[in-house]
A and B are shown apart, each in its own frame.
Chain A
Amino acid sequence: MSLTPELVAKLEREGVSKAVIEQLNEKLASYGKISEDKMEKIVDRVIKSYKRALVEPGENVGVVAAQSVGEPGTQMTLRTFHFVGVKELNVTLGLPRLIEIFDARSKPTTPTMIIPIDKKYSKDRDKAFEIAIKLEELLVDDVVDSSTIDMVNDRIIFELNPNLLRNRGISLEELKEILESRIKSIEVKITGSLKKKDEPIYMEVSSKRELNIQQLNKLKERILKVRLKGIPKIRRTVIRKVELGNGDYEYVIATEGSNLKEVMKVEGIDRRRVYTNDIFEVYRLLGVEAAREVIIREAIRVLEDQGLDVNIRHVMLIADAMTRTGRIKQIGRHGIVGDKSSVLAKAAFELTTKHLYDAAARSAVDNLLGNAENIIAGQPIRSGTGHVKVYLDLLKLLGESEDGGST
């Protein structure tokens, strides 16, 4: 069963939001035939519940949201790390992560991505591995066992790990080519072969220019940082099997490190569902709305992981407040930065005299819109009953008296 157009119109007329109507429709679809009478009743109930759930004008939603997140926050364990099974990635959770989200740090301490694979081969574990290997960043550092500086001949000698090279499918020629193209001033000579087992492979690097020891050291560091394969910042990948319910499943790639822009370009992944926990990366690439969504998802996940039941609306409000201006603003101990334009509000917080002198010098005006200002001025604040503005209904008053009322 689904809603008739008349019922949808009724719901809309009563102000029920589109999302709720959609959800109701979805829910109804899973039921069999429902009589018209019952349908009507269901819709009436939904309207009633919806209106009951509405927030009244004047309600201090911000304070309520702050308390609703703050109080459960006090119950969170301070344990930062947690491992799920073996080989799993380690992600910052709990209070540290929550603080990180609301503080709008530009980089999370543990950036991670969840990369679903294209529908075509989302059930193919081997394919998932193949893509994961492509993603994983491989630096020269990762294939080098040891490195020494040969001061006599002005060169650097690296001992390479043949197993790693073989596993990651990098030939010695490739290695030489990448290095020489990346750093122009060097010459690379590799001795040994990947075919022979257990025979060390040496790579000698010498510069075309004369270098002293410090410069050689610097060059060595530079070479170790050269990326041979993969996507920058993706340090490690793990294949995860995700149950989708009804016995359905898919493989996703979880990563340590995040690089949304580059990962989205990779073939074979489901570009639309790639997810990263780096809020600012999402903000830069996809915009504020997407960033807001990530803030909500991350905060709710942290709270839920700790077994705390916080209504998503509170988190949504906080995320809205953070992203309202079109940029991500942190919620620190000053509230949302830049939100306070009132002199009195600033004076009430810190450096009272300084703010007042400054304001006097600029002959600043305070419109007494915020709470702090009104309390200083000895007025009711503009929220709750203080938000209601009552006017005299002269028409009614006079009409009453004309009808022979006693006033």
Chain B
Amino acid sequence: MNSKKKTREKLELPTLFDIPYKDIRYERARLIGIRAMQLLQGAEPLIKVPENLTDPIKIAALELEAGKLPFLVKRGSDTGKEYLAEIS
């Protein structure tokens, strides 16, 4: 639990404004890409996959939408520092 607190603090680095990951198409593309790759290699989906949905890219997109992906994105802030942003 202690380490969890640490992550939160890191997140609160001063920045002009946080852009939600949804608004950055490059981040979306990258996250979905990485996750689709994992799914393709046999990872268990983190969501309940609708029936007949077999496209790993679409599954990955649904996972991202549901906020289940265990990823962080490194971003530069306008203060010149880098910080890790949660994606959900």
Contacts and interface: CB of A to CB of B under 8 A. Distances in A.
Interface string A1-42: 000000000000111000000000000000000000000000
A381 to B, nearest CB: 12
Given A393-B72, A400-B68, 20 more contacts: A15-B17, A56-B23, A57-B26, A58-B24, A58-B26, A58-B27, A59-B26, A385-B33, A388-B24, A389-B74, A390-B74, A391-B71, A391-B73, A392-B71, A393-B71, A393-B87, A395-B3, A405-B46, A406-B44, A407-B46
B43 interface: yes
A394 B17 contact: no
Nearest to A380: B30
Contacts of B72: 390-393
A14 B26 CA distance: 22
A394 B69 CA distance: 11
B59 interface: no
B25 to A, nearest CB: 6
A396 B46 CA distance: 12
Interface of A: 13-15, 51, 54, 56-59, 384-385, 387-397, 400, 405-407
Contacts of B73: 388-391
B19 A57 contact: yes
B81 interface: no
A400 B26 CA distance: 26
Contacts of B4: 395
22 contacts: A13-B17, A54-B19, A56-B19, A56-B25, A56-B26, A58-B27, A384-B26, A385-B30, A385-B33, A387-B26, A390-B30, A390-B71, A391-B73, A392-B72, A393-B70, A393-B72, A395-B4, A400-B46, A406-B44, A407-B43, A407-B44, A407-B46
Given A385-B30, A388-B27, A390-B30, A400 B70 contact: yes
Contact of B30 (A388, A394, A400, A406): A388
Interface of B: 3-4, 7, 16-17, 19, 23-27, 29-31, 33-34, 43-44, 46, 68-76, 84, 86-87
A57 to B, nearest CB: 6
A53 to B, nearest CB: 12
A59 B29 CA distance: 13
Contacts of A56: 19, 23-26
A388 B30 CA distance: 7
A21 to B, nearest CB: 14
A57 B19 CA distance: 9
Contacts of B87: 393
A69 B87 CA distance: 36
B26 A391 contact: no
Contacts of B70: 392-394, 396-397, 400
Contact of B26 (A13, A51, A54, A385): A385
A405 to B, nearest CB: 7
B49 to A, nearest CB: 12
Q: 9 closest A-B pairs (Cβ-Cβ)?
A: A15-B17, A397-B70, A389-B74, A58-B26, A388-B30, A391-B72, A396-B70, A393-B70, A385-B30
Nearest to B86: A393
Given A395-B3, A395-B7, A388 B17 contact: no
Nearest to B7: A395
A392 B23 CA distance: 21
Indicate the member of A56, A387, A390, A400 with the most B CB atoms within 10 Å: A390
Nearest to A394: B70
A407 B35 CA distance: 14
A407 B43 CA distance: 8
B19 to A, nearest CB: 7
Contacts of B23: 51, 56
Nearest to A14: B17
A96 B79 CA distance: 40
Nearest to B29: A385
